[in-house]
Structure formats: C-alpha cells, structure tokens
Structure 1
Amino acid sequence: MGKDYLYYKYSDFLKKQYLAKVYKLPVNLPVTCPNRVNGQGCSFCAESGTGFEAMSAEISVTEQLMKTQEFIRRRYKAQKFIVYFQNYTNTYLPLGSLRKYMEEAAKLPDIVEIAISTRPDCIREDYLDVMEEIADTCHISIGIELGLQTANYHTLKEIRRGHGLAEYLDACLRIQKRDFLLCTHAILNLPGDTLEDVIETAKIISIMGNHLVKAHSLYIARETEMARLFETGRLEIGTKEDYFLRLQTFLEYLSPDIAVERLFSRIPEAEALFSNWQTSWWKLQDEFLAHMEAHKSFQGKRYDYRNGPALKIFDDR
C-alpha cells in the first residue's frame, strides 16, 4: 500500500463529488459564539475565532468571495468553489441574517457548496429548513461542520466547551435526515484525553454518518485560558510521536468512507505560543505518512465494531 492510499484524502472526495478542481473560500461573518456570550468561551479559543485565514467580517460576503476567488482561480486553476463560513459559530445568527448571507454567497458564479462551521448546540430544524430551501433553489450542496473536539464529556466540561456529547448526537441525527454533507472536527491530544478517548471519538464520528472529518493537533493561541496554563507550566502538550500514535489510531478506527480534510492544525506563527512542535505542517504530514507505512497502518484497519461484532462467533456454526 503506497502512501497515497493510507487514508481517504479530501481532494479525492472533492473530485468524486464535483468532477472538477474545487477550492474552499473562507469567509468571516459578523458573528460570535454562545459560549462567549454566556461565559469566557472555550479555553483554547482565540479572539479570531479561527477566522484568521479570511478577511475582516466588516467586508461584505460578496467582496470577500470575489477577491479570494479571483486569486485562487488564477493561482491554482480552480474551476469550482466552496464558500466556507469559518469563524466562530455561523448559525448563531438570527435566521433572516443567515439566510441573507447564504443567498448572497450562492449567487456568485461557480459556487457548488456552502460549508457552515458551527456548534452542536446551534443546530435547529428551522435553520436546517432554510439551508435545505437554499440548496434546492440555488442548486448547490450544503455542508455542516460541527466542532465536537472529543467524545469525552468530562474533557468537554474541562475545556469549557459549553455542550456535552448528547448535543452532538442530536445535531447529527437531525442533519442525517437532510441531503447535507456532515463534517466533524476533533482535537486528538486535548489535556486529559487518553488513547481510549481517541478511539471512542473515531467510533462515534463513524457511527453518526459523517462524510468528512478534520483532525486537529492542539495549538496554544495567545491570550487564551490554555495560554495562561501553558505559560505557568500547568499544561503540558504531548510529544510529536504521541500525536502520531493518536492520529494513526484515530484513522484505523475511522470508517474508510469518511474523507479526511485535515491531519494537523494551522495557525499563524505570530498568534501561537505553541503549534505543531514548531514544525511546518507539510513536513509533519510527510513524517506521519512515513510513520503509517512503517506500521503497516491505514484508515479503517480496525473498522470492525458495527453491526453486532460479538455475534461473529456464530458465523461458522
């Protein structure tokens, strides 16, 4: 098995889904997060709300997209585009506002999908109805990205996530009823999480019918609660080798039908106290693929836990 086939790449998923060269265009909306309104927010979350790859939210959706689209089309010869509402919680808006932003994005040429980054506790039927209506009217796909981070509800509480596992399961079940693409984000080396938590996270993401997953390595953004713990020595991050083992295990338990959009996190160097063991993500990726080959590992290797596995003892009787 060559290194190109160790896991189901997002680029291969896009080619199969849209039969063209497709790129994501990040967009920042003037939105916040219920976790920040009701408290201090997640302990790892920076002021940028992970929207550092896009322009200011004060710039219109149309202007953000047109400028980015022109650059990506020229540099990468892209043919089609996915609009990615990226920062904070993009369904934490009045429904009319969300509709307006989605319709504005969908009107631009060569848009095949709108991907919406949000939280499990911000999924509701009337919001899904509007997304479905826009998908049908504008003839585009809708993708919903849920930030789960971990299946360990004790860790979710510890990092002040503001929701538990049940909210994630509820959101997935509601999204499954629609013809939407579902993606889940998971941080594989959160403080307190063990390898067993990584396995359980992979299992739940697989069982809940995800089409895509983003695996993240924990980074420490400046001016966050985790930054304060890190600077005072109260938070330690595991080694690169430990993360490789976690990522390998995660992929082995992940359904082979789920495309992997990301293996490591990315954040501008100026905004991070710690990121990826001070190594570029592309070098880490090469090292990790070599690690997978050396261990004869591949995505779905341990995907054997569905459909009553304990009954296999009766198969030959």
Structure 2
Amino acid sequence: MIYRKYSDYLKEVFNEKVYKLPIKLNLTCPNRDGKLGYGGCSFCGEEGGSFENSFGTIEEQLLNNKELIKNKYNAKKFIAYFQNFTNTYIDFNAFKANIEECFIEDIVGISISTRPDCLPDKFLDFLEEVNEKYMVTIELGLQTANYRTLKKINRGHGLAEFIDAVLRIHKRGIRVCVHVILNLPYDDELDTIETAHILNALSVEEVKIHALYILKGTELGKLYEEDKINLISLNEYEDRVIKFLQHLDNKIVIQRIIGRAPEENSLFCNWNTSWWKIRDSILNKMQENNFYQGQYMRKDLIV
C-alpha cells in the first residue's frame, strides 16, 4: 500500500463505493466579516474554498447532485459535504436545520468544513447525536503547523486553537479531516514533517492535501504579482508530498494528494499542469523508490 486511500476506506466501511455531494451555502467567516479581521486568509477568494456551481436549498442540491452521480457511476450511497466557508459560524438553530435537511435516502455520512476556532460545544454535542446514525466528519482547515506562517497568511488562529478543536471533537467520537497546504511560500520541508508529526500525535482520522493556488484580488495574489513571494517548483512539491506521507501514520486516511484548482481568475494554478498528472507522478515516484505512507513515522521513544 503506497498510501491509505479515502475511497478504499469508504468501501471498507460501507461495502461499496461512496460519493461526496457538495453543498454550497451563502456563508462567511469571522476572518472576513470583521470579528477577527477583514479579507479572510491571504489566499482565500470570494468562493470560500468551493468552486461548485450549486443552487437551491440543501435538499435540492443533494437531490440534483445525487441524481447526476447516480446516473454516471451507478452510485447508491453518498456523503453530504458542507464545503464552502465556515459552516459552524451561524446561529445554532440554523446549523441544526441545515444538518437535518440532509437526512434523506441514501445519505450515509455528513462532512462539515469549518475553522478550528468556530466550534462551540453546543454544536459538537448535537453532532455527537447525529454521529450515532450517520458518519460525521469535521473538516478543519489547518494548512500548516507553523504558527508563524499561520499569522503571515492571516488565518486568524494559531496552532493551539487547532489542537483544542481536535481534542474536543474526538471527545465526542467524531472523525477529523485536516486540510494542509504543502507549498505555502513561508514553509520549508521541516514544517511539512512537523505538520505530519502533530497530526499523528493527535490521531486525526483523515487528511486532505492541497497545492496552493493563487487567485486574483487576494492579498497573496498582490504579493505574487509584485514578485514578493517565492513558490517551490512542481518537482519540489511532489517531493514534499512524499516526505509528508512518509512521516504520516499509515492509519490516517488520505482524501487527496492534490486538488483540482480553478483556472479562472487564477494567477498560479498547479504549475499549469493537470491535477491527475501531478497525482500520477507522485504515485510513480513512490512506487519506483519503494516509498510508502508511515515509512518514517516515529514509533519508539528514547528512554
């Protein structure tokens, strides 16, 4: 096993292939509306991390997307995925209603994308109840374990808030998926390895790896246009992903090793290369060199 794939894990749990259904809502985050800051993270655009063209109520989006995927792949089981912005940065009753709208036929899980500093206990207590019937996963944007980089990209939270969120989520028996960006201009390979070690120590269940894309109109976009930031090469990114996986516990499920990025309004996007070519190149490098997830994981303490 080169790395533990998300699709394989879902097959193990549900005995068949399971597909995510993206849900897009009219939301914001405290780093955009003035509570913590304005403008959001330096890389975040107006879409808030979602580029799906979804319209209508939650149920309408689920039914429409479900029908498309069902017809294309003969799919029978689905996960409702609240994808854009901060889905727990709303009134509790509104959040509860959003989740309950997903309780329809063929939905077996619910994934909720949010920030580690926007998870009140009341929300988690409710999700603990939902988790008894549906597989609930909270997707947390960390991006990097380097708290200095977090400040530079204007995340609005540090590493401590992330650790606290994971501990409180796990206390309720809920799964955690962590989003990381492995080519942030302020990080090096040691930051990549340290991020993997911290995720191991916290026993997170899933990881989603992203390559940084830079959008027009963002703070990072301005720095890029002014030639004030340096980005690593595609080859360096591939090597960094491999190093991250080698240090990551092989029990952790990998949702993706690079994401599809929007080309429209982009100043930098996957080195002008198809995401699947980058994925295949990473896999080929690992296979040819006998590299695999967890290869360098810390296993023993010095006593």
Unpaired segments of 5 or more residues in structure 1? 312-317
1:109 paired residue among 105, 116, 125: 105
Q: What's the secondary structure of 2:203's corresponding residue?
A: coil
Unpaired segments of 5 or more residues in structure 2? none
2:297 paired residue among 303, 306, 310: 303
Task: State the shift of 1:236 in Å.
Answer: 2.1
Letter in 1 for 2:302: A
Residue 96 (str. 1) matches residue 71 (str. 2): no
2:134 paired residue among 131, 136, 140: 140
Task: State the shift of 1:84 in Å.
Answer: 0.2
Task: Please give the residue correspondences for 1:278-289 in structure 2 after superposition, counting only pairs within 5 Å.
Answer: 278-289=272-283
Task: State the shift of 1:135 in Å.
Answer: 3.1
Q: In structure 1, how many angstroms separate the alpha carbons of the residues matched to 2:32 and 2:53?
A: 21
CA contact (8 A) 2:87 2:113 kept: yes
**Which residue matches 1:126?**
122
Residue 248 (str. 1) matches residue 242 (str. 2): yes
Length-normalised TM-score, structure 1: 0.92
Q: In structure 2, how many angstroms separate the alpha carbons of the residues matched to 1:37 and 1:294?
A: 48
Residue 221 (str. 1) matches residue 215 (str. 2): yes
Q: In structure 1, how many angstroms separate the alpha carbons of the residues matched to 2:205 and 2:81?
A: 16
Q: In structure 2, how many angstroms separate the alpha carbons of the residues matched to 1:65 and 1:208?
A: 32
Task: Please give the residue correspondences for 1:1-317 in structure 2 after superposition, counting only pairs within 5 Å.
Answer: 5-38=1-34, 39-56=38-55, 59-106=56-103, 108-136=104-132, 139-305=133-299, 309-311=301-303
Letter in 2 for 1:96: N
Q: What's the secondary structure of 2:137's corresponding residue?
A: strand
Q: What's the secondary structure of 2:21's corresponding residue?
A: strand
Deviations for 1:41-78, whole angstroms, at most 9, x for unmatched residues?
A: 1000010001212414xx20011111000000000111
Which of the two has greater helix per residue?
A: 1
Q: In structure 2, how many angstroms separate the alpha carbons of the residues matched to 1:190 and 1:95?
A: 34
CA contact (8 A) 2:131 2:174 kept: no
Q: What's the secondary structure of 2:33's corresponding residue?
A: helix
Deviations for 1:194-245, whole angstroms, at most 9, x for unmatched residues?
A: 1110001001111112111001111112221111111111122110111111
Letter in 1 for 2:72: R
CA contact (8 A) 2:179 2:207 kept: yes
Deviations for 1:236-260, whole angstroms, at most 9, x for unmatched residues?
A: 2110111111101100010000111
CA contact (8 A) 2:24 2:50 kept: yes
Task: State the shift of 1:134 in Å.
Answer: 2.8
Q: What's the secondary structure of 1:90's corresponding residue?
A: coil
CA contact (8 A) 1:176 1:209 kept: no
CA contact (8 A) 2:238 2:278 kept: no
Q: In structure 2, how many angstroms separate the alpha carbons of the residues matched to 1:271 and 1:206?
A: 36
Count of matched residue pairs: 300
Q: In structure 2, how many angstroms separate the alpha carbons of the residues matched to 1:17 and 1:274?
A: 37
Q: In structure 2, how many angstroms separate the alpha carbons of the residues matched to 1:271 and 1:13?
A: 35
Task: State the shift of 1:125 in Å.
Answer: 1.0
CA contact (8 A) 2:58 2:102 kept: yes
CA contact (8 A) 1:43 1:160 kept: yes
Cα RMSD, aligned residues only:
1.1
**Which residue matches 1:315?**
none
